[in-house]
Amino acid sequence: MIRWSYLTACGSLIALIFLCLAWELRLAPVQPGGSWLALKCLPLLVPLFGILHGRRYTYQWASMMILLYFTEGIVRATTETGTGQSLAIAETGLAVTFFVAAVAYARLSRRSAK
């Protein structure tokens, strides 16, 4: 179970980084030709190495940070149409997936659980 949560968290975080970049640079940018909103993926790079190395503390705080992306996804899913709405729904799904996997990993990797 701990391996599943580790792989799911890593995969969903990496997928969310690529989704944010593709969304704002190519698929449905706010402005034609791309927008500065692509920089929203930079905060996702901060916990990336801690997540990949299985650091429990990183999983704990990253699970709180990911809620910002969940919130953005919900807002944009209800206010945009077409491709933007589909991408927002995907962002929300990836954020929820990461959150569940990160909480599961943090819980299963504590000393008392071993």
* pLDDT for the residue 95: 98
Residues 91 and 16 sit within 8 Å (Cβ to Cβ):
yes
pLDDT, tens only, 10-57: 999 999 999 999 998 888 887 777 778 788 899 999 999 999 999 999
pLDDT, tens only, 88-102: 999 999 999 999 999
* pLDDT for the residue 112: 63
- Whether the pLDDT of residue 114 is over 60: the answer is no
Domain ranges of the chain: 2-28+37-113
Cα(99)–Cα(70) distance, rounded to whole angstroms?
A: 9
Look up the pTM and report it: 0.91
